[in-house]
Amino acid sequence: MPAFRNTFGDFSPTIHGVIVSSVLISGAFTALIAGVLAHKFGQVRIFSIGAFVYAVGAAVQSSASKLPAFIVGRLIQGIGEGLFVSNVWVQVSEMSPTRVRGTLTALPQFTIVVGVVSGFFICYGTSRLGPSTSLSWRIPLAISAALGFLLSGTYWLVPASPRWLLAKGRVEEARNVLVRLGFDDVEREKLLEESMNQVQAHNPDDETLWQGLKETFVGFKEAFSAPFRARTMFGCFIMGMQQLAGIDGVFYYAPILFEKAGLSGAQASFLASGVSALAILAVTIPATFLADKWGRRTSSLLGGILITTLMLLMGSLYAADKVHADRGAGKWVVIVSIYLFAIVFNGTWAIGFRTFLMESLPRKTRSSASSLAQSANWFSNYLVALVTPVLIAKSTYGAYYLFAISSLFTTVIVALRMVETRGHSLEEIEQRYVQSRGISTDAVDVTTERSNVA
């Protein structure tokens, strides 16, 4: 927004990338410890605390008068976001009955899209206040802070994960929660029976937080040990490469991309961005409710092919100098392709990758491995946010080609490594994995595991 630069002064594409990406670098580090904190205190408590910290960071940004203070606010916001993002998905996955787990695990992505739609239209509305008042950029951040405080209140509304309760030996509480959540008798009793064998022999409350943090690194080491390392590595891969497809480059810099394609004015760009977000929302609704109707592998492969094709198309148009604001169809092809890319991504990779990750990780390493995967996602997101404005300024087609190559590589690896998890309980998925590889849950032959990774 012009009002933002009027407040803080003009800055280069590099500084632009630093401002946007600062929220991601702090989030990447806190995501690493989010899992162990959740293991100690429960996912609900940690994502509530994270939402509160996020809100404080947004409030600091909203009130900032100097750019360093604004960046500090984003760093604080990232700390909170790193705590709650991955834990929300773990919580939803662990509290969902098998028959509707795909749909429920997709719901956070749906609400994210609702937030994106709201954000673009709020910014479109406040940008009309004009460049003379800083309220145009302060109001969206104030709303973000208010929503963060609201999310932190879920601590009093959302039950603890039944699997977390069982891991802590709180069997009766877990049984009551399973009934409340609608688990049928067969799945409930099977989960209780299987989890009873994994209840810790010692009192987990005797462990201090510092001991838990030290155990984090033990947990990371365990996640990369046999027989878990293949799943951990693949989870980190798909979550990292998900961002290198360029989705947040499009979300963060959509107004700039639309201006590059030929639209003029900040308001027009925000409006076009809001329309694209509405299109995303339109496809996310059926994709969410159909998540259990088609496989994770199918949606991931289809999405990868379409994403790669669209990125190559846009990059080629810019490379051939076919995109002009005043003539030719090139700019409209790019604008429509941006819409299609966002629609395809959110209907496939955004839902399929996250759902597969939560389903494929074993209970023993789910918290630590999901933290590692979320951290990989944040670091990749940080790189995308940092370099996208520089690439756009230097070579627009270079950004699109980078995203296309990353998407193609990811699609190939998914075709080789991803298995179908739809329609099976988390315990059944683990059992199928163990049986398919002929490995023991107690001891694993190192040579066999190395061949599995290969």
What pLDDT digit, counting tens, does each position of 242-252 carry? 989 988 887 77
Q: Are 114 and 101 in contact (CB under 8 A)?
A: no
pLDDT of residue 213: 66
Q: Cα separation of 87 and 30, whole Å?
A: 12
The total number of residues shown for the chain amounts to: 454
pLDDT band at 78 (very low <50, low <70, confident <90, very high): very high
Sign, CA torsion 91/93/96/100: positive
pLDDT in tens, 180-209: 888 888 888 877 776 665 554 444 555 565
Reference 82, options 116, 42, 38, 117; nearest CA is 38
The pTM of the full predicted model, rounded to 2 decimals, is: 0.71
Q: Would you place residue 266 in the very low, low, confident or very high pLDDT band (cuts 50, 70, 90)?
A: low
Residue type, 402: L
Q: What percent of the chain has pLDDT over 90?
A: 21
Buried-state track 417-436, b at ≥16 Cβ within 10 A, e below 16: ebeebbeebbbebbeebeee
Out of 51-60, 87-96, 231-240, 416-425, least confident range: 416-425
Residue 431's nearest CA partner among 370, 364, 362 is 362
Q: pLDDT-derived band of residue 50, with 50, 70 and 90 as boundaries?
A: very high
Over its C-alpha atoms, the chain yields an Rg (Å, rounded) of 22
Averaged pLDDT for residues 371-396: 85
Q: Compute CA distances 304 → 222, 360, 408, 427, whole Å.
A: 31, 20, 7, 28
Render pLDDT for 268-284 as a digit per residue (tens, 0 to 9): 667 777 777 788 788 87
Query: Residue 412: what pLDDT?
Result: 95
> Coil, strand or helix: which one is 282?
helix
pLDDT grade, residue 139 (50/70/90)?
very high
- d(Cα 348, Cα 378) in Å, to the nearest integer? 19
pLDDT in tens, 82-130: 888 878 878 888 888 877 877 787 788 788 888 888 888 898 889 888 8
User: What does the pLDDT look like over 159-178, one tens digit per residue?
Assistant: 888 888 887 888 888 888 88
Q: At what angle do helices 13-41 and 209-223 cross, to 10 degrees?
A: 110
Sign of CA dihedral 416, 420, 426, 432: negative
Q: Do 95 and 78 touch, CB atoms closer than 8 A?
A: no
